[in-house]
Structure 1
Amino acid sequence: MDHKEEKTWGALVHLGGIIGMAILSHVGNIIGALVMWLIKRNDSAFIDNQGKEALNFQITLSFINVAIGVLYGIRHGVWAFRHMWDNDFSFRHIDFFTFSSAYGIVWLLNIIFSIIGAVRANKGEAYRYPISWRIVK
């Protein structure tokens, strides 16, 4: 594999998370990065390294999304239990916007860091995400 193709696939591995997240919001990011990495991981050590980095970052973001969902479920359950017999639903919209904003921040982090990773990989530089739980080694 020539160096230009290696850099292109390195960038595509990083962008796989964004593409996958656009298709399937909660697990598509992992599937997108995983598919891109599995296609070319044996062809280049650079692609293998960048694929692992991208996959670990996408797994981390998915864990954060799950945690937000669990917190939202707990908060909504407590709120619903407390107000079961009340007709006061005036603050319900605040919870929705708070947790929607949290999901939006995760989406934004995915876009920003994945693009930075893709640009660096396209230059031939190895990129290491600043927020990532290293699961795939």
Structure 2
Amino acid sequence: MSDFENVTAPPPPPVTDGPVPSDQRTMALAAHLLGIFTWFIGALVIWLINKDDPTKAFVTDQAKEALNFQITISIAMVICFILMFVLIGGLLAPIVGILSLVFSIIAAVKANNGELYRYPFALRLIK
């Protein structure tokens, strides 16, 4: 049995019929950008508002993706804080912050263009 058999791939993006409406693109953009300022709270609110509406599959998917990424970043920052006692956390925390900023902006631009975006590294806790 291989160690990699238990690793799951990211879920496939939802199938969208035609172009994504402007209001859904804006909400997805907001879900990604709010992560910069509110960590996971903004994406959580957007996901909770839209998760039961099947016509907003794009917003739900992107808010869930942003939420998973921001939870991953939060866990990484807690680990950096703990590692500050051995000084390595002081070096890692700015790197994690910059990665969060860069990937959130990339995701926001892709969402505003109506493209489904998957973060390159994120724990998929919310399915």
| Alpha-carbon distance in 1 for matches of 2:42, 2:27 | 13
Which residue in 1 is equivalent to 2:24? 6
Report the equivalent of 1:69.
81
Q: 1:53 aligns with which of 47, 62, 65?
A: 65
Distance across 1 between alignment mates of 2:43 and 2:59? 12
How many residues align? The count is 106
Within 2, Cα distance between the matches of 1:103 and 1:5?
35
If each structure's helix is expressed as a fraction of its own residues, which one has the higher value? 1
In the TM superposition, what is the alpha-carbon distance from 1:103 to its structure 2 partner? 1.2
Separation in structure 2 between the aligned mates of residue 37 and residue 109 of structure 1, nearest angstrom: 23
TM-score (norm 1): 0.71
* Partner secondary structure for residue 133 of structure 1: coil
Match of 2:4 in 1: none
Query: Which of 100, 124, 137 is the matching residue for 2:114?
Result: 124
Q: CA deviation at 1:30?
A: 1.3
What is the CA distance between 1:68 and its match in structure 2?
1.3
Query: Which structure is larger by alpha-carbon Rg, 1 or 2?
Result: 1
Structure 1 alignment gaps of length 5 or more:
21-28, 76-94
The corresponding residue for 1:81 is: none
Q: CA deviation at 1:56?
A: 0.5
| Root mean square deviation of aligned Cα | 1.6
How far, CA to CA, are the matches of 1:114 and 1:41 in structure 2? 21
Over residues 13-53 of structure 1, what are the superposed CA-to-partner deviations in whole Å (9 max), with x where a residue is unaligned?
Answer: 11110021xxxxxxxx0112212322333340001100111
CA distance in 1, matches of 2:92, 2:42: 22
Q: Give CA-to-partner distance per residue, 1:79-108, whole Å, 9 cap, x none.
A: xxxxxxxxxxxxxxxx3xx53331111111
Q: Does 2:101 align with 1:111?
A: yes
Match of 2:8 in 1: none
Runs of 4+ aligned residues of structure 1 deviating over 6 Å after TM superposition are: none
Give the TM-score, by structure 2 length.
0.76
The Cα offsets for residues 41-81 of structure 1, whole Å up to 9 and x where unpaired, read as 334000110011100000111111111122223x2xxxxxx
